[in-house]
Structure 1
Amino acid sequence: MRSWKERVTHMVLFEAIGLALVTPLASGLTGHGVGEIGALAVGLASVAMLWNLVWNRLFDAWVPTRRRRLGQRLAQAVGFELGLLVMTLPAVAWWLGIGLVEAFWLDLGLMAFFLLHALIFNTLFDIVMRHYLARGGA
């Protein structure tokens, strides 16, 4: 089982890298300003960080290995994103002043981006941690 320190490190790095990549991209695609999208992204990231701690802790209990197969990694990423979508859809619609359908499509686009980000990030994070722990890291 991974420690809380490792999970917090994972969460902060995941969200920081994701925000740096998605904010300008979403702003350009939606026509909303970088500030408006950035503020929304920070709010969503705050919810996502809490959900990340809960979801990944649960997932670690269900699949307690660092050598996860692709299907397990996809289940981890999809479960996280679906849970986040359910929690954030109304807030996205309200913040941007758009309908739920438009917010759903925007959230779906963000979900697709973060699914790919999660798949790549989680794989690389586990590889780095395996090497770190093999060298005696705590």
Structure 2
Amino acid sequence: MRPPLDRLRHALCFEILALVLIVPLGTIAFHMPAHDIGAVSLVGSAIATLWNILYNSGFDRVLHHRRGTTAKTLRLRLLHAVLFEAGLLALLMPFLAWYLDISLWQALVMDLSFAAFFLVYAFAFNWAYDLLFPLPDGQEA
């Protein structure tokens, strides 16, 4: 399994790159000032970073317990990304509604838009991370 410092590097790299991409895209897509998108992105990033560490660790533990390995097939990677985004959606939607002073419906639409972006992003990032930072032979994530 990946050591805690590797998981921290993974989470921080994931969130920093996401912020670089999401602020300009969110500003354009939602017609909101960059400081509002930036603020919800920073808070969302902090929440997502903690969720990322907890979720990935838990997912790998469950996977190892049930299958005896943490190796992920394409299907498992898709499941991993979808479950991650569903959990994050539940955590972030109330914050978006409150901070941006929008309805829960509007927050849901915004959060689903972010989730669609991050679903693709998480899949690509995690695959690339595993390729760029492979574990030593014989070890699994």
Q: TM over 0.5, yes or no? A: yes
Alpha-carbon distance in 2 for matches of 1:9, 1:95: 29
Q: Equivalent residue for 2:58?
A: 58
Post-superposition offset of 1:63: 2.5
**SS of residue paired to 1:32:** coil
- Gaps of at least 5 residues in structure 2 are none
Matches within 5 A, 1:15-30: 15-30=15-30
Corresponding residue of 1:10: 10
Cα shift at 1:79: 1.1
1:126 maps onto 2:127 in alignment: no
1:12 Cα shift?
0.2
- Which residue type is aligned with residue 18 of structure 2? G
Are 1:112 and 2:116 counterparts?
yes
Aligned-partner Cα distance in 2 for 1:89–1:74: 22
Aligned-pair CA distance for 1:66: 6.0
Q: CA RMSD in A?
A: 1.3
* 2:107 aligned residue (103, 121, 127): 103
TM-score (norm 1): 0.91
Indicate the residue corresponding to 1:47 in structure 2: 47
Contact map agreement 1:89 1:103 (CA 8 A) in 2: yes
Identity of aligned residues (%): 36
